[in-house]
Structures are given as structure tokens and as C-alpha cells.
Amino acid sequence: MNKPWIKYYDSGVPTTIDYPRIPLYGLLERSAAKFPKRVAINYLGGLITYEQLNRMADAFAAALVSMNVKKGDRVCIYLPNCPQFLIAYFGALKAGAVVVPTNPLYVERELQHQVCNSGAETIITLTLFYPRVRNIKAQTPLKNVIVTNIKEYFPPVLKALFTIAKEKKEGHRVKVDPGVYEFSRLLREFDGKPYNKPEVDPDDVACLLYTGGTTGVPKGAVLCHKNLLSNAVATRHWLNDIKEGEEVVLSVLPFFHSYGMTTCLNMGTYIAATLVLLPKFELRQLLATINKTKPTLFPGVPTIYVAINNAPDISKYDLKSIRACISGAAGLPVEVQNRFEAITGGRLVEGYGLSEASPVTHCNPIYGLRKPGSIGIPFPDTEARIVDLESGKEVQPAGEIGELIVKGPQVMKGYWQMPDETEAVLRDGWLYTGDIAKCDEDGYFYIVDRKKDMIIAGGFNIYPREIEEVLYTHPKVKEAVAVGIHDEYRGETVKVYVVLKEGETSTPEEIIQFCKERMAKYKVPREVEFRNELPKTMVGKILRRVLAEEEAKKRRTSTV
């Protein structure tokens, strides 16, 4: 296959990689052996070394084996970013289990679906979330419930302050039922104890990553050890100036999400980086953490970079330690990229991926040629094509729009217990992404939009991202999203939701006029709604579908 993109790889980035034939938890064991005293986790000032983390993961694995968790059993991790997540993650993998990362924002209905669908019999959660688990347990296969407190690995002073000021008030102090295991007690009881460690092959299943919840019933992407390990290793090689045992990775992306799992947890562990953990994104805490811990790598999403760019007191913080950032989960507006680089002096490039591909498939070179609006070029060992939207078989020439399909070692085995859905997206080894895209003659790919997000107005195809790129150049606009809404005459028309920068005011007429001067008439928004904030996933992706559903409900109500 012709790969014109290879000549644009940064110096030292290989076109193909000899991946280690080890299980995913081998990344931790490797770093613990090479850099035992290196700080693996910095959690609000509480420190854990690689040697300690590996020992804790072994203790947790021994505990799981004692509970009769066998190879292939599913184990839910219902936690935010905290040391317990890493301990449970690598411990479950060492026990031969399949990890099921679970969004800590899930309410009981969503949690029950994921536990039942995965068939998980074991779950690790916070005391804060335990009431939800208790309420659904009888309707699920759950047998083993392990509970931990968010403060467990806080440094002593912070732990004391948290106990006094927040624990009871926020619901962290919960009385658990008999038969529920305490995480810390298990680690103490099984510390240093031998256990029957199962043989794990790189092709064995490591993780069920649930995806698609914003557009329908969530599906479990079945990812094997090789899928996740190869993507972490490839990400490391893409960052061609990595210094093993010296990097600091700011880990605000949630680990339950494929993007945070690969670019922070797995890749960071592979290079023996210090992972600076933040349980959630809060701008002031994030800026103070960067100022104090001096991260060198900062994977993120556009909404986080937008927030940093617009912080009114940004000059108070030293962000110059940041060397490289890969942005994913949504399109990166050029204005956002340029402003962030001016503030930090680091490189911010747009990449692309999806949970079904572990997730990264494309990225702009960190230091080489990057093209505005492009997701970049395929990763090492990754093939990509644009095919026609109707049959999905005809490869499109450069510049023509079609569906993006990818192939590589990071592509999933399929969807968990969903053969029809698997057959629809995996064809002859190719993963059909559902994204409308194009490729230029140099092999740089551009996402035009999601198939399902495309707006068809009066017979014209309108891609929301194109409108959003224009809106982000408006000096008053902080965030913006375009949505297709019902129109009696055109079928659909464009409505935009706008969040203004602090202290700014505007009118719908001003926004519409701005668009008229910069895009074809049929693309210009007909409606503008100003909001204080936009609905987002925990990873920071704007939920376009939620806005579309709100609009549809509003219109149905008005016609009754």
C-alpha cells in the first residue's frame, strides 16, 4: 500500500515497531525493574514509587485470586484518577482478569447496564459511590465489592484536613455492609504473599472499553493486551525525544477513557514517567499543579486548552515546563492551538483515535510539518484509507470525501457479545470508523465530521466542524458547537450554541453576521443560543447529541 505520509515522520520515529511480546502489566514490571525508586505517582503531593506500585499491584492480584477471580473474569474499576485505579488496573491484569473501566459519573441505571452486560462479578469503588453499587447489586452478577476512600493516598496533612472539612459533608464516610472488602486491608493482608499468576498471552483479552453511550446503548470494545500495549509503545515512539525515567505526565484525562488510559496511564508507565494524578478537571487546581509539579507531557482535549487560554490570571502560573501535548477527542481549533503554544512555549498537535482502536491511529508530527485542521498522519504500523460512503469499498482519491477506515495492531477484536455490530464495523481487517474524512496528496487526513452529525439542509451537506472553526476565530467566543435542528422547508438547518469569554457580550445578529462574511450562505447559522456552559463528557468532549435532543424535545413540547 502506498504510504505518502511516511516521509513526514519526525526524525527517529520508526515506520514499524518490534513490539515486546509481553502482557500489558509487563509495562509496570519493566519500569519497576529498571527504575524502582522513580516516583510513579504524584497524587496531590502523595508519592508512590514504581517498586511500591508493582508490589501493591501484586498484593491486589493475590487478593483477587483468593476471591476466586479466574483468568478471563471481568473486574469493574469504578474510580476516578487516583492511585487505587492503577493498583486495581495492574493487579486485575496480573490476576488474568479483564478490566472493565467504568465512568465514575454513571448513575445507577448506567452502572447496572455495564456490570450486567460485561458479566462482572467484582467491582472496586469509592466509599462515595458505594450506595449506588449497593442499590444495584441484587440485580447484577456482582459477588465481590471492594471499597476504598478517595483520601487513602493523600499526604498526611491533606488527609487530616479532608477528614475534618469534607469527608462527612460530601458523603465519603459511608458505613459498608458485611461482606464488603476494604481495599487497604486487602493490600496489607496480601502484601508479599505468593499467588498463582496465570499465563497471559498478548492476544488474551485485557479490557472491555465501553463506547457509544452518547449515541445509543454503550458497546464494549474488546481489546487484548497486544492492542493496548502496541498503542502505548507507538505513542512513546511518536514522542521522539522521550527520556525514560525523567518525564512527568499530567494525568487529568480520566483513566476509564481509552485516551487517558493509553496516553497517560499505559504510555506513562512504559517510559517510567511520574504520573501527576488529578481526579477531575478544575482549572485553578490544574494551573497550580502545573506550576508546582512541572509536567513535561500533557495529553488533553480542546476544552481544557481553551480554559487555560482564557484564564484571566494565566500570567501568575509558570507553564513553561510543558514540552509536548497531543490533543484528541474533538477537533482542535487553530486559534486554540496557537494561543496555547504562545503561553507555554510547548508543542500542541492534534491527533485522532477511537476506543475501538485503543485509541490512537493518527497524529500530526510533534516537531515536523503539521497542517491546520488535520488530524495528521497514521501511526507506525497503521494503515488508513478513505472509502466511498455508499458501499465502503471504493478507495477515494486525494481530496475526495468518504469514510475513514483503519487497520493496525491496535484495532479491537470486536464488540462484546454483539456479533452484528462487530460485523458492521470490522470488514477484512479494516475498522470502519463512522467518521467522514478526506486525505490530501501528502497523506494528511482531515475529519470532516461524524456520519451521524452531518447536517443536510436543502440538499447541501453541512459539516458542523467547519462552522465551529469559524466561530472560534471570533474574538469574543470561548466555546462553540453547531447542531442540526428540524426545519420545515430545508429539512434541517444550523443552530449554534456559544459560550462567550468572561466579561464579553454579544447578540445573535453579531454572530450570524460574522459567519455570513466567512462562509457560504447555506452554512450560515439561522439560530444562536448563548450559554454559560456546554454539556460535556468527563473527558471534556462537547455533547452535541444532548443539545440536539434538547432542541427536539423543546420543539415537540411547543407543538402539543
Segment 409-425, tens digit of pLDDT: 999 999 999 999 999 99
Residue intervals of the chain classified under CATH 3.40.50.980 are 22-29+46-225
For 496-528, give one letter per residue: b (16+ CB within 10 A) or e: bbbbbbeeeebeeeebeebbeeebeeebbbebb
pLDDT the model gives residue 350: 95
Question: Rounded to an integer, what distance in angstroms lies between the CA atom of residue 94 and that of residue 60?
Answer: 9
Name the CATH topology of 455-559. Answer: GMP Synthetase; Chain A, domain 3 (3.30.300)
Q: Do 144 and 68 form a contact (C-beta atoms < 8 A)?
A: no
pLDDT the model gives residue 451: 63
Per-residue pLDDT of the chain (560 residues; tens, 9 = 90+): 689 999 999 999 999 999 999 999 999 999 999 999 999 999 999 999 999 999 999 999 999 999 999 999 999 999 999 999 999 999 999 999 999 999 898 889 889 999 999 999 999 999 999 999 999 999 999 999 999 999 999 988 888 888 777 766 666 666 777 889 999 999 999 999 999 999 999 999 999 999 864 345 679 999 999 999 999 999 999 999 999 999 999 999 999 999 999 999 999 999 999 999 999 999 999 999 999 999 999 999 888 998 999 999 999 999 999 999 999 877 788 899 999 999 999 999 999 999 999 999 999 999 999 998 899 999 999 999 999 988 999 999 999 999 999 999 999 999 999 999 999 999 999 999 989 899 999 999 998 876 667 787 766 778 788 899 889 999 999 999 999 888 766 778 899 999 999 999 999 999 999 999 988 788 899 999 999 999 988 777 788 878 988 888 887 776 65
pLDDT the model gives residue 213: 42
pLDDT the model gives residue 452: 67
> What is the pairing mode between strands 74-78 and 98-101?
parallel
> What is the pairing mode between strands 491-500 and 477-487?
antiparallel
pLDDT the model gives residue 157: 85
Burial class (CB in 10 A: 0-12, 13-18, 19+), 70: middle
Residue intervals of the chain classified under CATH 3.30.300.30 are 455-559
pLDDT the model gives residue 172: 64
> What pTM, to 2 d.p., does this model score?
0.85
pLDDT the model gives residue 192: 97
**Cβ-based neighbour number of residue 217 at 10 Å:** 11
Rg (C-alpha) for the chain, rounded Å, is: 23
Q: What torsion, rounded to 10 degrees, do the Cα atoms 68, 74, 80, 85 define?
A: 50
Check if CATH label 3.90.550.10 holds for domain 22-29+46-225: no
pLDDT the model gives residue 291: 98
Strand partners, 445: 376, 439
Question: Rounded to an integer, what distance in angstroms lies between the CA atom of residue 230 and that of residue 247?
Answer: 20
Segment 271-309, tens digit of pLDDT: 999 999 999 999 999 999 999 999 999 999 888 998 999
**Residue 335 to residues 148, 247, 302, 472: CA-CA distances in angstroms?**
42, 28, 11, 7
Question: Rounded to an integer, what distance in angstroms lies between the CA atom of residue 496 and that of residue 512?
Answer: 10
